[in-house]
């Protein structure tokens, strides 16, 4: 019999015992016991029937299950007795668990899942680590074309090997940079996409070297956004980086949701797309990511062994062929293809997940605090019942089990409800991140990892929220509780204070995160850069400027300059070597007489003479560059320095007329001092900056255009001008302000989500603090009454309650700061890499604002309970004595 037949089995046992009892009764009668006493005698002979029943149940081996079921039934009954409380608890937990699991679902889809749905067990991604390579010393890198060919041709363990490279191309018809993948022709098959939405996929002929076809497969997202789902797209010609490609198929975003490209082209097209480089035919350039499918019956370890052999053969061939001293040695790592297993970025992914899930866990903790409080108050109101149980001999374990069952019931229902959020949250987040991210929107599939995580959260919530109630139940003073004395406060003030401190601390950390992210967009758009961002357009150009093409490039630039300057609304045009809002690698600048190594790090910007007027950067002293200044890179010349530079090099003296030495040993005389700008990091003054005069006869550099009026028509005019000159130019001119705004927009939608989550957390914290205080005040009403009888005024009582709350709040803030400070530091360090956002400087602001907010809301939460404390009735308190 199985456990679900337990009822039947119970009935059976009951019947058996009853029939044997009757037999015993008959025997007793036969023995001469008077009929009216026979039943009792039989029972005596039989012993304790309930005990027999219990012991028999034990023999079934199901006793723990039965006991658990009993606890659960009991929990259900107590839910029915206090439904509101459980609804609140369940909702709090559902939110806490749901937000966590929802975000985890998203992270899981992006980082943890292998990039294919079809038989992910046989999918392998291969990463190479070339050591002894000339440039890439000991780094994970893609494969060279030769190595890919070797693996594909020689591997027996892998039945299909694909390679791909992600890049950005300009789709002329879409006029925006588009994500593209140059792929081998078996790419879709290896990634488990069997058939296209419409049209066809690549056939092997499309990839043959030399006679490769200029064909492209579009992802469904690109097809929808850039071509309006044109049903006649197949066979049409599109232009990628200026080259014509024929569309042959559409790959559905459902199947290809992991496939990162918007446009797929054969990998043999790489030289065509990537002008000036020919990675495909270069024996030394690593560029291909390699993935394959295991032949059935082979494991990843087999593949590892085989591919390593192949690669060491390749290494030997490489060394033999090259007369150079490089002694290449390749190590391989094989993974399931998920991001988190990518050895090059694993650490960053883990750190990122920790940074995202960390604050979310705090929301769950807050929910647990709330639930703890609810259960705690229930434990206290039920202390009569609990005391009776203890008096009747219930063990502590039994008691704990009972309370655990209640909180398990609550968190399981909460967890079940949270599944709704698990499906909603990822979509909400992806939608909020922005419409032009929509082509990367992943189809979110919760899998065993998500549900495992959910189960872990439920278990954690169960245990966390039942710890304190269990402790309170164990500490119950039997005697007073049994006497039913209302007066005996059983929850220590230390417990309630602890809860308040924890909730304030957690709320504080969450608010800090929200404030920080809420501040970022305004930090970006509100930046006072020190130059005009609204009327300066950056014109991105890609021109080959090797010596062979020098005259061609020069003509191109000259013509372009004159045409742009002829556009109505354009004021001036300038060049610079440094971009805006990106870290600048410093160069060493010395004073004359200093030897190399003793100079100071300086950002050097190589500019054209009208740079300052184009950017509207005021010159504080001296003169701007003029056409008479020598520009030859070998000759000594003049320079303009920033204020910070002047202060750094000549703290007291006059910089004008002084000499400096550049890293290439040119001696420059300072002729002007320009105002400082904030062009490297947002809202941070740049360090020392040196402006040198650009050689006007050398093409290249970043082109900036100053204009007046509305930017849009000018941007379009510039684009058309460039296209008219060179159709292959990848160009989307934008004012500096517009590119900032685009950045800020993305961050602010993300900030919106974080703000929402933090608000949920803050609400929980406030409700929690309110709950704890109300509870504490209710239980101290007798104490307040007595105090009043002894002469305390209502104000004194109000003050004492508020003061204690304030003390706890401050303690909570300190604890919170102790968590938030290092957290922000870690985040800042994480974000810092390659980003102009300086988060470190934000800390005081964030901590301050959050602290004020927290104090205000927790005072608000204190108000009502404190007021209630003053309403304690002294008479009632005395009567209870």
Partner 1 sequence: MSSIKDQTKQRSAVLQGTLDMLILRTLLYGPAHGHHIGKHIQQTTNDFLQMQHGSLYPALHRLERRGWVTSKWETAPDRNREFKYYRLTEKGRKQLQVEESQWKQMMEAVARVMWPTSEES
Q: Identify which of residues 17 and 684 has a Cβ nearer to partner 1 in the complex.
A: 17
Identify which of 868, 876, 859 has the alpha carbon closest to the alpha carbon of residue 774. 868
Task: Give least dist CB 4 to partner 1, A.
Answer: 16
| Residue 693 dihedral angles phi and psi, to the nearest 5° | -85, 130
Give the neighbor-by-neighbor strand order of the sheet with 734-735.
570-576, 702-707, 536-539, 734-735
**Closest distance to partner 1 from the beta carbon of 68 (Å):** 20
- Least distance CB 73 / partner 1 (angstroms): 23
DSSP letters of 261-280? Answer: -SEEEEGGGHHHHSTT---T
- Among 19, 229, 626, 659, which residue interacts with partner 1 (rule: CB under 8 A)? 19
The number of beta carbons lying within 10 Å of the beta carbon of residue 435 is: 10
**682 in Cβ contact with 523 (< 8 Å):** yes
CB 638 within 8 A of CB 669: yes
Residues 589-618 that bind partner 1 (CB under 8 A): none
* Residues within window 808-867 making contact with partner 1, judged by CB under 8 A: none
Number of residues counted as binding partner 1 (CB under 8 A): 20
Residue number with CB closer to partner 1 (23 or 455): 23
20 binds partner 1 (CB under 8 A): yes
- Judged by CB under 8 A, which stretch of 14-22, 477-485, 607-615, 851-859 contacts partner 1? 14-22
User: In this structure, what token pair is assigned to residue 535?
Assistant: 């009327």
Distance CA 335, CA 127 (A): 8
Task: Pick between residue 23 and residue 76 the one whose CB is nearest to partner 1.
Answer: 23
Nearer of residues 12 and 654 to partner 1, judged by Cβ = 12
**Nearest approach, Cβ of 41 to partner 1 (angstroms)?**
14
- The CB-of-60 to partner 1 minimum distance in angstroms stands at 6
Q: Is 26 or 477 the residue whose CB approaches partner 1 more closely? A: 26
Complete DSSP assignment for 30-70: HTT--HHHHHHHHHHHH--HHHHHHHHHHHHT-HHHHHHHH
As measured in angstroms, the least distance from the Cβ of 48 to partner 1 is 7
Report in angstroms how near the CB of residue 59 gets to partner 1 at its nearest: 4
Rank residues 51 and 566 by Cβ distance to partner 1 and give the closer one: 51
Q: Assign residue 450 a region (left: φ > 0; alpha: ψ between -120 and 50; beta: otherwise).
A: alpha
Nearer to partner 1, 2 or 879 (CB): 2
Nearer to partner 1, 15 or 81 (CB): 15
Query: By the 8 A CB rule, do 339 and 129 touch?
Result: no
List Cβ neighbours of 378 (8 Å cut-off, separation of 6 or more).
78, 82, 85, 469
Residues 6+ apart with CB under 8 A from 739: 538
* Binders of partner 1 in range 692-711 (CB under 8 A): none
Nearer to partner 1 among residue 46 and residue 74 (C-beta): 46
Measured from the CB atom, the residue of 15 and 829 that comes closer to partner 1 is 15
Kindly tell me which of 51 and 547 has the beta carbon lying closer to partner 1: 51
**What is the tally of helices (H) and strands (E) in the chain?**
25, 22
Query: Which of residues 8, 14, 23, 343 is near partner 1 by CB under 8 A?
Result: 23
Among 6, 10, 13, 725, binds partner 1 (CB under 8 A): 13
Distance CA(469)–CA(353), nearest Å, equals: 32
Q: Write down the least CB distance from residue 70 to partner 1, Å.
A: 19
How many C-beta atoms lie closer than 10 Å to residue 160's C-beta? 17
* Site stretch for partner 1 (CB under 8 A), options 15-23, 75-83, 657-665, 811-819: 15-23
CA triple 70-76-80, angle to 5 deg = 145
Per-residue x/- track, 362-381, partner 1 (CB under 8 A): --------------------
**50 or 790: CB nearest partner 1:** 50
Residues from 76 through 95 that contact partner 1 (CB under 8 A): none
CB 510 to partner 1: min, Å: 54
CB of 54 to partner 1, least distance (A): 9
Binder among 11, 14, 16, 447 for partner 1 (CB under 8 A): 16
Task: Please identify which residue in 17, 41, 357, 427 interacts with partner 1, judged by CB under 8 A.
Answer: 17
In the bound complex, what is the minimum distance in angstroms from residue 762's beta carbon to partner 1?
56
Give whichever of 53 and 436 is closer to partner 1, judged by the CB atom.
53
Report which of 761, 705, 708 is spatially closest to residue 734, judged by C-alpha positions.
705
Closest by CA position to 146, among listed 280, 267, 275: 280
**Cβ closer to partner 1: 21 or 554?**
21
| Cα 58 to chain centroid, rounded | 50
Instruction: List, as one string, the DSSP characters of 221-258.
Output: HHHHHHHTT-TT-TT-EEEETTEEEEEEEEE-TTTTTT
Rounded to a whole number of angstroms, the minimum distance from the CB of residue 37 to partner 1 is 18
Nearer CB in complex with partner 1: 17/732: 17
Phi, psi of 606 (to 5 degrees): -95, 110
Cα distance between residue 331 and residue 811, in whole Å: 53
- Residue 266 CA: distances (Å) to CA of 217, 254, 557, 571, 805: 9, 22, 33, 44, 68
Closest approach, Cβ 389 to partner 1, in A, equals: 25
Residues 209, 210, 215, 220, CA torsion sign: positive
- Residue 63 beta carbon to partner 1: minimum distance, rounded to whole angstroms: 11
Nearer to partner 1, 58 or 654 (CB): 58
Buried-state track 545-568, b at ≥16 Cβ within 10 A, e below 16? beeeeeeebbebbeebeebbeeee
Stretch that binds partner 1, among 9-17, 183-191, 393-401, 531-539 (CB under 8 A): 9-17
Site for partner 1 in 27-66 (CB under 8 A): 46-48, 51-52, 55-56, 58-61
Largest CA distance in the chain: 139
Tell me the window of 17-25, 224-232, 787-795, 838-846 that interacts with partner 1 (CB under 8 A): 17-25
**Interface with partner 1 by CB under 8 A: which range of 8-16, 100-108, 258-266, 687-695?**
8-16
Residue 14 CB, nearest distance to partner 1 (Å)? 11
Give the nearest distance from C-beta 45 to partner 1 in angstroms: 8
Binding footprint of partner 1 on the chain (CB under 8 A):
12-13, 15-17, 19-20, 23-24, 46-48, 51-52, 55-56, 58-61
């Amino acid at each position: 019999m199985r456990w679900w037949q337990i009822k039947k089995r119970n009935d059976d046992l009951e019947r058996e015992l009853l029939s044997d009892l009757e037999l015993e009764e008959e025997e007793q009668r036969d023995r001469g016991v008077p009929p009216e006493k026979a039943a009792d005698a039989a029972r005596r002979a039989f012993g304790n029937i309930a005990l027999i029943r219990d012991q028999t149940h034990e023999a079934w081996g199901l006793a723990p299950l039965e006991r658990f079921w009993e606890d659960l039934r009991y929990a259900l009954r107590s839910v029915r007795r206090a439904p509101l409380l459980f609804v609140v608890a369940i909702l709090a937990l559902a939110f806490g668990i749901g937000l966590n699991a929802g975000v985890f679902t998203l992270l899981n889809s992006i980082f943890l899942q292998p990039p294919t749905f079809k038989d992910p067990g046989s999918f392998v991604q291969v990463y190479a680590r070339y050591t002894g390579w000339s440039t890439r010393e000991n780094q994970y890198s893609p494969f060279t074309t030769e190595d890919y060919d070797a693996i594909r041709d020689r591997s027996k363990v892998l039945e299909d090997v694909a390679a791909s490279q992600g890049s950005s191309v300009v789709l002329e018809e879409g006029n925006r940079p588009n994500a593209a993948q140059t792929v081998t022709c078996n790419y879709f098959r290896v990634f488990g996409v069997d058939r296209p939405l419409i049209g066809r996929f690549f056939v092997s002929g499309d990839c043959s070297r030399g006679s490769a076809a200029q064909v492209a497969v579009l992802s469904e997202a690109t097809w929808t956004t850039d071509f309006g789902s044109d049903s006649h797209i197949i066979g049409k010609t599109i232009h990628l980086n200026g080259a014509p490609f024929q569309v042959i198929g559409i790959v559905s975003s459902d199947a290809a949701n992991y496939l990162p490209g918007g446009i797929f082209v054969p990998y043999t097209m790489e030289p065509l797309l990537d002008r000036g480089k020919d990675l495909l035919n270069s024996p030394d350039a690593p560029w291909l990511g390699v993935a394959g499918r295991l032949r059935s019956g082979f494991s990843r370890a087999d593949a590892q062994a085989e591919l390593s052999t192949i690669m060491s053969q390749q290494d030997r061939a490489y060394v033999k062929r090259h007369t150079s001293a490089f002694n290449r040695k390749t190590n391989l790592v094989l993974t399931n293809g998920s991001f988190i297993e990518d050895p090059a970025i694993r650490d960053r992914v883990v750190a990122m997940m920790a940074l995202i899930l960390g604050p979310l866990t705090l929301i769950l903790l807050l929910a647990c605090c709330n639930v703890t409080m609810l259960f705690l108050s229930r434990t206290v109101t039920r202390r009569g019942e609990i005391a009776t149980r203890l008096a009747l001999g219930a063990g502590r374990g039994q008691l704990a089990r009972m309370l655990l069952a209640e909180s398990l019931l609550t968190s399981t229902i909460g967890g079940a409800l949270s599944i709704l959020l698990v499906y909603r949250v990822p979509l909400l987040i992806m939608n909020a991140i922005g419409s032009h991210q929509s082509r990367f929107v992943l189809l979110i599939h919760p899998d065993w990892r998500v549900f495992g995580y959910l189960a872990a959260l439920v278990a954690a919530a169960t245990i966390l929220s039942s710890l304190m109630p269990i402790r309170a139940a164990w500490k119950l003073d039997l005697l007073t509780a049994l006497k039913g004395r209302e007066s005996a406060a059983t929850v220590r003030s230390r417990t309630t204070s602890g809860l308040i401190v924890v909730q304030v601390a957690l709320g504080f950390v969450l608010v800090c995160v929200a404030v920080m992210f809420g501040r970022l967009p305004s930090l970006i758009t509100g930046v006072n850069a020190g130059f005009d961002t609204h009327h300066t357009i950056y014109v991105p150009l890609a021109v080959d400027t090797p010596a062979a093409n020098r005259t061609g490039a020069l003509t191109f630039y000259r013509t372009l300059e004159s045409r742009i300057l002829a556009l109505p609304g354009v004021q001036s045009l300038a060049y610079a070597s440094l971009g805006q809002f990106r870290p600048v690698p410093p160069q060493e600048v010395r004073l004359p007489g200093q030897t190399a190594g003793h100079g100071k790090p300086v950002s050097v910007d190589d500019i054209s003479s009208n740079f300052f007027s184009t950017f509207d950067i005021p010159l504080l002293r001296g003169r701007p560059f003029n056409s008479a200044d020598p520009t030859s890179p070998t000759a000594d010349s003049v320079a303009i320095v920033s204020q910070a530079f002047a202060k750094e090099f000549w703290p007291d003296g006059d910089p004008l007329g002084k000499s400096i030495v550049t890293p290439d040993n040119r001696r420059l005389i300072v002729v002007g001092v320009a105002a400082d700008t904030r062009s490297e990091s947002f809202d941070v003054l740049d360090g020392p900056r040196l402006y040198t005069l650009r050689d006007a006869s050398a093409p290249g550099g970043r082109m900036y255009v100053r204009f007046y009026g509305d930017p849009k028509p000018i941007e379009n005019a510039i684009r058309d001008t460039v296209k008219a000159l060179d159709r292959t130019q990848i160009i989307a001119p934008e004012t500096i302000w517009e590119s900032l705004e685009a950045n800020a927009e993305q961050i602010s939608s993300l900030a919106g989500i974080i703000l929402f989550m933090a608000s949920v957390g803050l609400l929980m914290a406030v409700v929690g603090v309110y709950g704890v205080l109300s509870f504490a005040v209710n239980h101290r009403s007798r104490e307040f009454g007595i105090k009043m009888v002894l002469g305390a005024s209502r104000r004194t009582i109000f003050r004492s309650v508020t003061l204690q709350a304030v003390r706890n709040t401050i303690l909570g803030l300190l604890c919170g700061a102790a968590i938030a400070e290092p957290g922000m530091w870690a985040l800042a360090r994480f974000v810092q890499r390659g980003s102009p956002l300086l988060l470190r400087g934000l800390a005081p602001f964030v901590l301050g604002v959050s602290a004020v907010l927290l104090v205000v809301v927790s005072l608000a939460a204190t108000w009502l309970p404190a007021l209630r404390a003053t309403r304690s009735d002294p008479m009632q308190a005395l009567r209870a004595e």
